[in-house]
Amino acid sequence: MNRAAEHLRQAQEAFDQNKSQAQRWFDLRIRTGYAVVALGILLAAISAFLIVCHAAFPAWMIGGAAFAMPSGIAGVTFAAWKLILSPGSAVEIKPVLQETAKSTRRTSVLPRKSGE
């Protein structure tokens, strides 16, 4: 009885730890998503400013801004989606007790009778 209670306590502790780690990963993914959005907006704003005020800047800078706006935003968005925000990177919380029960399952070894 005491052994089963200890096993259940350890399983609950492992599940709580997995749940906490999953929450931390979720928070990191959300913050990264917001940072990507902010970075995309900043890149678009700087590029738009350079394109709109083209008289104050050299032609090579205007060309760079015109190239950086769509390609930079697409690159940042793709990298963030692929590395962090993709659905495959989500942490799945599953019961620990079933895994633990399978891994600690013992086969019963009964003593053989001397006549067998």
pTM: 0.60
Q: pLDDT digit string (tens) for 28-49?
A: 888 888 888 888 888 888 888 8
How many structural domains compose the chain? 1
pLDDT in tens, 3-36: 888 888 888 888 888 888 888 888 888 888 888 8
| DSSP secondary structure of 8-44 | HHHHHHHHHHHHHHHHHHHHHHHHHHHHHHHHHHHHH
Any domain includes 116: no
Does any domain span residue 105? no
28 domain-assigned? no
Examine residue 71 and state whether it is found in any structural domain, yes or no: yes
Is 45 contained in some domain? yes
Domain that holds residue 59: 36-89
CA distance linking residue 67 with residue 20, whole number of Å: 42
